[in-house]
Every structure is written in structure tokens, then in C-alpha cells.
Structure 1
């Protein structure tokens, strides 16, 4: 599904399909940014490694719940890291539509 995300119509399904690759791309962009504290860098590194790791708690071939462990782990680690990263820095590093990221982080919470 992630491979064909660019073919999906704009909307929530496309945002969800692009979520994990966007997390990896954002983590790579933020790893050397001066506004990102060390604990946030470590959380982003763990999130990226979790997604890229071939070892999973739930096998990927299980429909729907297979990628669920990746998504839950990345969401929790991203929310943890976002508490100490300025919101503007995080949004600038996000490679796709930021609406899903804003929804994930909460519109009222301001990092930094």
C-alpha cells in the first residue's frame, strides 16, 4: 500500500499510506538539526530503526494488524520527540501533507 500511495486520491487513506515513509524521511532530516535535542534525536532514531527493522512483534503478512505495531511504535516515539522539537522545525522536516502530523500531535499543543 505504501508503494502505491502516490496513486491514491488525496485524503486520509493517502496520508496514512504515506505516514511511515514520511516519518523515516523526517527523522533523517531532523537528526542533525541544531534545534533538536539529543533525547528527541534518539527517539527519532529508534522510530526509524523500528520501521526499517525486519524483526516485528506482529508479522507484516497479517492483514491490517501486521503493520500496526510499526505505526503504534512510531506514533508514540514521534509524539515523545515532538514535545521538545519546535513545531515549525518539525513541520519543515515533514515531506508530505502536514495535516496528518498536525492531527497526530494535536493542534493545541505547541512544541518548543
Structure 2
């Protein structure tokens, strides 16, 4: 069972890379790009709809929402684009992972804004 789980995780990871590469492909329609970008950003983001510290429910997004989003995004893409991106994804996984400093910066800025807002709110409540 552990091997099956590892294979499933590996397949999920490859599918995320396929979606990442498909987002950059100019043959993909704009609405598919938007949906694909949202799925990839959500999958790689540390921010979840349901926080992981909530027992059982916290992992629903990791087990259901992310795979469902990947499945829907892949259904929106033409087969030829998926095949092209699958080859590129395999090369990326073997060589190196893509780095998106812009997305990482946005996530850090959002966390800093939430932290700053929380600090100001607590400070106002204490005074």
C-alpha cells in the first residue's frame, strides 16, 4: 500500500509539472490558462482552504481538492499539448525543478500582510 501511495504522489507531481508547462504554452486558451494557473498555485501554496491542523478535514484539500483540480485542468487541455508537456515535465523532473520567484514572492508578501494585520489588530485590542 505504501508503494501505491508513493506512485500516486509521483504521478500527481508529474501532472502538476505538466500543468505548469501547459500554462506557459501559447496554444492553450486564456480561460484554461487561468484555471491551470490557479490549480498549480493552490497545489504549491502553503495556504490551504482548510488548514492542515484541523483533524481529518485539514487534509481533505490535499486528498480531494488538489487531485480534482488537476483532473479538471487536464480534461480542459488538448491531448497533443498534454503529450508535449509530459515529455518536458519528465526532463524537468530529472534535471531540475522550475523556480518561480514571482509566485514565491507573492506568497511571502501575502503572509507578511496577514501577519502585519494580525499584529495591528492585537495591538489595538490591547490598548
TM-score by length of 2: 0.51
2:18 to 17, 26, 32: 26
Post-superposition offset of 1:64: 6.8
What is residue 105 of structure 1 aligned with on the other side? none
In 1, Cα distance between equivalents of 2:83 and 2:60? 24
- Determine if contact 2:19/2:74 at 8 Å carries over to the other structure: no
Q: What is the CA-CA distance between 1:15 and the residue it aligns to?
A: 2.6
- Give ranges in structure 1 of 5+ residues lacking alignment: 1-7, 97-112
The 1:17/1:80 distance shift into structure 2, 3 A limit, reads closer
After alignment, is 25-34 or 78-87 more displaced? 78-87
- Once the two structures are TM-superposed, the CA of residue 44 in structure 1 deviates from its matched residue by 1.0
Per mean C-alpha deviation after superposition, the further-off stretch among 53-62 and 42-51 is 53-62
Structure 2: gaps spanning 5 or more residues: 91-127
Question: 1:6-34 CA distances to partner (integer Å, 9 max, x unpaired)?
Answer: xx75xx32332224422331122111213
State which structure, 1 or 2, has the greater radius of gyration over its C-alpha atoms. Answer: 2
Aligned length: 87
Answer 1 or 2: which has greater helix percent: 2
Aligned residue runs from structure 1 range 93-104, under 5 A: 93-94=85-86, 95=89
